[in-house]
Structures are given as C-alpha cells and as structure tokens.
C-alpha cells in the first residue's frame, strides 16, 4: 500500500496497535495474546467464528472491557481506556450491530444526543449544518428532520455511523454493518465506507460474517479462531474458500445442493392473513401461500417489511386481524402456541436470546421449555429431569454444540452454539412444519453451513419448512419457491431454481421488473 500523507499522518502507517491482548472469563480464555495492527486509510476486516473472540477484542478497543494483559497504542502512544468515553476522546467510534437509536426522536436529535458540544443550550441549526457537511463528504443520504421510526434499516445504519463521526471518530469499528440491509442499501453503504477510508478517516475496522463483502471492500484481513490470531492476509491474495478454512479450521462447502424431493401434501395453508405491528399499524397485508411436505418456502425481504409479524402470527405469539391459518387442514388461527406445538409446529425465533432462550436457565431447562407437555418427558406436570438431561446431551452431541455440558447457563454460549441448541430442541420433535425466522442471522460461516444443512435434512424427512431470511443468497440457495415481501405484502411467488438475484433484489426493494411475470 502506497504511503501518502493525510492530515498529518501517512496512509498505510500504523495508527493503532494491540500488543499481546489477553482477556479471561471464568472457564474461558477469550483473547490469547492477540497482536493487531491497523493502518491509516485502510479497511481492515476482522473475521472469526462465533465465540472466536472478535467482540471481546473490539470491546477492549472501545473501552467497554479492560484487558488482563497487553497494551494499546494509538499513533505510537500507549493508552489505557477505563470507559468508552476515554476511547471516544481519542477518536475511536463503534457502531454496534444492535441499534441504539431513540425511535421517536429525529435523525439530527439522535446524532447530537449526549454529545459534549451540545451543552445546556442546543444549537440544532449549527449541528444540522455540520452533519449535512459529513453527509456530503461521504455520500450519505438521510433526512435529518425525519423521525427514526420512519427510516429504513439502511438509513438507521447511516445515522449510527454519523453519530460516531460527529463525535470526532477517526478510527471506526463497524460490527456487521450490512446484516439487515437490502442489496441496494449495502452497495451505497460500502461506497460510503470506502469514501471514509479514502479521506482523512484513519481506519475502518470491519467485523462481518459475509465473506464476499470482505473480499470486495477490505484491504487486509485478520482471522481469529479460539481467541488467537490464525491468519493475517492481504485481501487481494485471499478468496472465500481460504478465509472460511482459516476461520473454522476445515474446508467449507459454499454451494448447497437444493435437495430434490417430491413435493407432498399441503401442510401449512395461509389465506388472506393480516396483522398489526406493535405500534398498531397494518404490518402484514392479505398474505396467502401454502407450504407442502418436502418443501422449503423462502420469504425474502429487508427487515421491517412484515416478516416478523408473519412469523409471530404463525407461531401464535401475535393475533391475526384478518385471514386464517390451517395446519394439516385444521384451522389454528386462534389456537394457542402450545396447541400448535402439539399439532406439529416448530418455531425457531429470530431473537435467540430474548425469545428463544432464558439466559439464566441451564441448557437442560431451556430444552425442557419445548417438552414440558410431552408425556415422554413429563408426567402430571412434573418434568422427568433424567430423561430431559439425556435429550439435551443428545442434542449437544448431534448438533456439535461447544459447551462444557448440559448444566451450563444459556447466556454463556456463543450465538452460534445457542442457535444450535434451539434448532436441536425443535428438530428433535420431528415437527410437521418448521417456521425458521432468520435462522442464520449473526452466525459465522461454519455455523451457517450447519444450520442450513439441518433445514435441508428436515425437508428431506418430509417437513414443510418456511424460511424467513434477510440474506438473499441464502433464500436463493435453499428455497424451492420464493416470495419477496415488501411493506407487508408479497410481490409475487417465484420458482426457486429459476429466480434471478437481480430480480428478487429489486422486488424486495418494492420494484417489479418489467420483464418478470409472477
């Protein structure tokens, strides 16, 4: 990389160094003597499986955690962070995967909220001019007067980045910045990230599980596995297969074979289904479809277009305001969640921590949440703990859950391992229909491959699988039929094997290609 001067420092010169960073938690060595160098004007990707130590390392860099050993240097000067305020003062900003915005406030109010320069008297006019200048410089487009609840997911991500830049960030940590974006939004965001790297912004450390984005955007890659650095690569010398192998320690199969299974009888029938959002507006609009035995029916869309409401209505967690749902011909529109489970419905929620598990419960107790009514595992309301423990151990072994044992609390598992437990307890009942809502969101490439293959195996066994995903490539790879969803309504239903990425991408953005007949 050529060295050129940018506002007093050289492009390509080290601006931040981590030396021998070590962090221990009870029973876990999260970071093991990690060295990391980040240079001015480059996009540096940090890769690793769930539980590899990426998040811990970035929290240390942002002052949210303190290392047990090791040193941090910024432009050659040793620093020590006691809190995120210390990191912010030295020009480090972090954009978390989970939004931290206030929905009722405007974009501008969210950006200046809590900023030291706001003082007692807030000069919104001056702040607006400064933020508008940042937007112009980096190609961001967002209405500063709009309320956050009115924004798309891509626009919300822009607001989070602007918050960090407005606070003076010169080193910007981005955690899964494109995970909930449509293809068109992803392209715009990546162009702005490149503009930031090309300008005076010192560096953009970039955490993601999407290998094509890493290859298209970053200059260098550092791979973590088991808390240690396993590879340092120039992106120009890497490809998806090399990066995946370094991440998981084995070859990863990227092209899943869409299993050819003779489609059976209708299992799940949805007729004119409508539902309200938590705010009371119509989020799901007159949706109709059928999922058959031995079929994966994929719903593709950007977050906030009615998929969440659809999943909850089908699972019995949200009432329908119109239409009906049938399971094997039985009307279950107003049935309880328990009754749906007894009839053969399995539900994998998107919120694995908030809905899919109880963090302070053991894995045995979390598994029991789906079996307390099953006479094989409970009698007269009393759970057979020994039987439930055996089942949990079988799930741990079959689904390769990395954990010391079944008595570990759920909150101590990485996201990928917790998802395997949730998946295993659902599939162990061999449900007739599986509602899989964002089953691979936030998972590393190895865990994603595993979950996808389990859904394919369930399909082969005759289950009807409803796959709801914001990963367009995942929907295209797995689905026998695809329904792009936009503003709560289907834009059509397409044959999976014939659907083109560009067409589906346009449809989830609300555009129906002229040459497409649905």
Cα within 13 Å of Cα(347), Cβ side: 25
CB count in 10 Å sphere of residue 373: 12
Report pLDDT for 257.
Answer: 63
Degrees to nearest 5, angle at CA 435 with 429 and 436: 100
Residue 21 has pLDDT above 80, yes or no: yes
Confidence of residue 200 (pLDDT cuts 50, 70, 90): low
Q: What is the dihedral of CA 238, 302, 496, 269, to 10 degrees?
A: 150
Identify the top-confidence range among 97-106, 285-294, 434-443: 285-294
Give pTM, 2 decimals.
0.69
| Beta strands at 9-10 and 5-6: parallel, antiparallel or unpaired | antiparallel
Output the six-digit token pair for 85: 């305020």
Is the confidence at residue 178, as pLDDT, over 50? Answer: yes
Provide DSSP, 272-312: EEEEE-TTSSEEEEEEEEEEETTEEEEEE--TTSSHHHHHH
pLDDT band at 214 (very low <50, low <70, confident <90, very high): confident
pLDDT at 287 over 70: yes
Instruction: Please report the pLDDT score of residue 456 as a whole number.
Output: 93
Is-same-fold flag (5-248; 266-508)? Answer: yes
- C-alpha 86/C-alpha 63 separation (Å) is 7
pLDDT of residue 5: 42
Flag the least confident range among 130-144, 253-267, 348-362, 444-458.
Answer: 253-267
**142-148 average pLDDT score:** 90
Whether residue 6 is predicted with pLDDT greater than 80 in this model: the reply is no
Residue-wise pLDDT tens digits, 388-415: 999 999 999 988 888 888 999 998 887 7
How far, CA to CA in Å, does 70 sit from each of 20, 22, 227, 363, 419? Answer: 4, 6, 14, 34, 32
Phi and psi at residue 414, in whole multiples of 5°?
Answer: -70, 165
Domain layout of the chain by residue ranges: 5-248, 266-508
Mean pLDDT taken over the chain: 86
pLDDT at 486 over 70: yes
* 127-151: burial string, b at 16+ Cβ within 10 Å, e else: bbeebeeebeebebebebeeebeeb
pLDDT per residue as tens digits for the range 56-75: 898 999 999 999 999 999 98
CB-based contacts of 314, cutoff 8 Å, min separation 6: 268, 270, 325, 345, 347, 435, 466
82-104 tens-digit pLDDT: 999 899 988 898 887 667 788 88
CB 156 within 8 A of CB 97: no
Residues 231-283 have pLDDT tens digits of 999 999 888 888 888 887 776 655 666 667 788 999 999 999 999 988 788 99
Number of helical H runs and strand E runs in the chain: 16, 25
- Give the residue among 340, 328, 314 at the shortest CA–CA distance from 264: 328
The predicted structure's pLDDT at residue 183 = 67
Angle at 386 between CA 381 and CA 391, to 5 degrees: 95
pLDDT score recorded for residue 2: 44
Q: In sequence order, what are the beta bridge partners of 296?
A: 465
Q: What is the pLDDT of residue 3?
A: 44
Q: Does domain 5-248 have CATH number 3.90.650.10?
A: no
- Mean pLDDT lowest among 113-122, 142-151, 187-196: 113-122
Does residue 153 carry a pLDDT above 50? yes
Q: How much helix, strand and coil, in percent to the nearest 5, is found in the chain?
A: 35, 25, 40
∠231-234-238 over CA atoms, to 5°? 80
Quickly state the pLDDT bin for 226 (edges 50, 70, 90): confident
Strands 295-300 and 481-486, by their bridges, are: parallel
List beta partners, residue 210: none
Question: Domain 266-508: which CATH class?
Answer: alpha beta
pLDDT digits (tens, 9 = 90+) for 179-188: 666 667 778 8
Q: What is the pLDDT of residue 8?
A: 39
Exposure on the CB side of residue 187, measured as CA atoms within 13 A: 4
Question: Can you read off the two tokens belonging to residue 207?
Answer: 């955490």
Give the pLDDT confidence score for residue 201 in this predicted structure: 60
Helix (H) or strand (E) holding 177: none
pLDDT for res 513: 61
**How much of the chain, in percent, has pLDDT values that exceed 90?**
41
């Amino acid at each position: 990389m050529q060295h050129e001067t940018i506002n007093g420092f050289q492009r390509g010169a080290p601006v931040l160094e981590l030396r021998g960073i070590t962090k221990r938690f009870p029973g876990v060595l999260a970071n093991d003597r990690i060295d990391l160098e980040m240079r001015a004007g480059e996009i540096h990707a940090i890769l690793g499986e769930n539980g590899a130590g990426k998040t811990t390392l970035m929290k240390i860099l942002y002052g949210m955690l303190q290392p047990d050993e090791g040193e941090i240097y910024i432009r050659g000067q040793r620093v020590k962070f006691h809190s995120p305020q210390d990191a912010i003062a030295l020009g480090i900003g972090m954009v978390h995967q989970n939004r931290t915005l206030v929905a009722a406030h405007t974009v501008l109010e969210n950006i200046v909220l809590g900023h030291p320069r706001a003082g007692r008297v807030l000069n919104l006019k001056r702040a607006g001019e400064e933020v508008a200048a940042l937007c112009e410089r980096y190609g961001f487009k967002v209405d500063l007067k709009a309320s956050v609840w009115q924004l798309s997911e891509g626009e919300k991500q822009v607001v989070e980045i602007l918050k960090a830049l407005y606070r003076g960030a010169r080193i910007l940590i981005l955690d899964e910045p494109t995970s909930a974006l449509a293809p068109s939004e992803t392209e715009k965001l990546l162009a702005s990230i490149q503009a930031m790297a090309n300008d005076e912004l010192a560096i953009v450390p970039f955490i993601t599980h999407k290998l094509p984005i890493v290859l298209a955007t970053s200059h260098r890659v550092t791979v973590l596995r088991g808390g240690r650095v396993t590879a340092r690569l120039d992106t120009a010398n890497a490809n998806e297969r090399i990066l995946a192998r370094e991440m998981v320690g084995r070859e990863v199969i990227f092209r899943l074979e869409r299993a050819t299974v003779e489609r059976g009888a209708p299992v799940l029938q949805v007729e004119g289904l409508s539902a309200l959002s938590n705010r009371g507006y119509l989020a799901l609009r007159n949706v109709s479809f059928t999922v058959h035995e031995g079929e994966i029916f994929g719903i593709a869309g950007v977050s906030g277009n009615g998929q969440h409401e659809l999943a909850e209505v089908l699972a019995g967690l949200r009432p329908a305001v119109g239409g009906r749902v049938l399971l094997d011909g039985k009307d279950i529109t107003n049935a309880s969640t328990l009754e749906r489970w007894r009839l053969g419905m399995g539900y994998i929620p998107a919120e694995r921590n908030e809905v899919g598990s109880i963090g302070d419960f053991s894995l045995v107790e979390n598994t029991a949440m789906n079996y307390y009514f099953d006479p094989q595992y409970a009698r007269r309301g009393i759970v057979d703990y020994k039987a439930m423990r055996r089942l949990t151990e079988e799930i741990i072994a079959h689904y390769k859950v990395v954990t010391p044992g079944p008595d570990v609390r759920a909150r101590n598992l990485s996201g990928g391992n917790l998802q395997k437990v949730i998946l295993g307890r659902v599939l162990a009942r061999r449900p007739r229909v599986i509602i899989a809502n964002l089953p691979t969101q936030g998972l590393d490439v190895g865990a994603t491959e595993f979950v996808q293959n389990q859904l394919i195996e369930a399909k082969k066994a005759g289950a009807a699988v409803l796959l709801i995903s914001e990963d367009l490539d995942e929907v295209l790879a797995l689905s026998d039929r695809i329904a792009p969803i936009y503003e709560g309504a289907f834009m059509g239903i397409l044959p999976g094997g014939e659907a083109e990425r560009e067409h589906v991408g346009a449809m989830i953005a609300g555009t129906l290609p002229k040459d497409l007949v649905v």
